[in-house]
Amino acid sequence: MTTTLKKPQRSARKPKGDGHMRRGEILQAAERIFLAEGYQGATIRKIADEVGVSSTALYMHFRDKDEILLEICDGAIAKLLRSNSEISARPIDAVARVRLMLDAYITFALENPNAYQLVFCGQSGLVSEDKQEATEALGDSCYDVFLSTVHEISANGRLRTGTVDSAAQSMWAACHGLVALLLTKPSFPWAPTEELRGVMLDGLLHGLVTD
């Protein structure tokens, strides 16, 4: 398993009149710094230096660190919501849809390790409660799409053990545990990633769902 967090070299200072600075460039730099130094250790100046602009130029795009962090979180969760919504609408068996959602969750985490760790492994309470409400609502919507599909399995009498909530939470927790370990313990002699995820998903669904 070769997934690692990458920290590209700092951008050179952009000359005056260089054109519009993309918000995405700021978000990517902030994401790297939040992970490397923690939210409290990151500053607007550090983020601006990483991008290669002045702090004043950065403030033209974001009011403060809170706004940057929340936009990173919103963007990551929105990707998962779009994926879950698309999968849930497919005219296939509910168990197959649940497996696809879990597999998509793992894929997202491994392809976006910085965003995943920031959103799903970061400390809570970094920003004020009122600023977190919209982000939390987006996360709830993402989970609700997954939960509704598990409800379908239960409604068809195919849930072998537990409740809808405990089954859904167990599957989510198992996937989170796998990707968190793969990302934070890259030196461990893991089996091939595709084999690991396949074995885990097979085990989860065969244990929780009847044929």
CATH of the domain at 172: 1.10.357.10
pLDDT at 94: 96
Q: Across the strands, what pairs with 209? A: 159
In this structure, are 52 and 20 located in the same domain?
yes
In this structure, are 33 and 84 located in the same domain?
no
- Based on the number of CB atoms within 10 Å of its own CB, is 167 exposed (0-12), middle (13-18) or buried (19 or more)? buried
In this structure, are 49 and 79 located in the same domain?
no
Among candidates 37, 26, 38, 22, which has minimal Cα distance to 72? 26
Domain count of the fold of the chain: 2
Report the predicted TM-score, pTM, of the whole model to 2 decimal places: 0.78
Where does a domain end: 62, 79, 95?
62
In this structure, are 200 and 130 located in the same domain?
yes
Give me the domain span that covers residue 49: 6-62
Does residue 1 lie within any of the structural domains?
no
Mean pLDDT by 10-residue block, N- to C-terminus, for the chain (211 residues)?
47 46 84 84 91 89 86 85 94 96 92 79 63 73 93 96 96 95 94 96 95 81
Where does a domain end: 62, 79, 99?
62
pLDDT at 1: 46
Q: What is the CATH number of the domain that holds 36?
A: 1.10.10.60
Tokens of 103: 């597999």
In this structure, are 57 and 74 located in the same domain?
no
pLDDT at 169: 96
In this structure, are 21 and 112 located in the same domain?
no
CB 209 within 8 A of CB 95: yes
Q: What is the DSSP letter of 53?
A: S
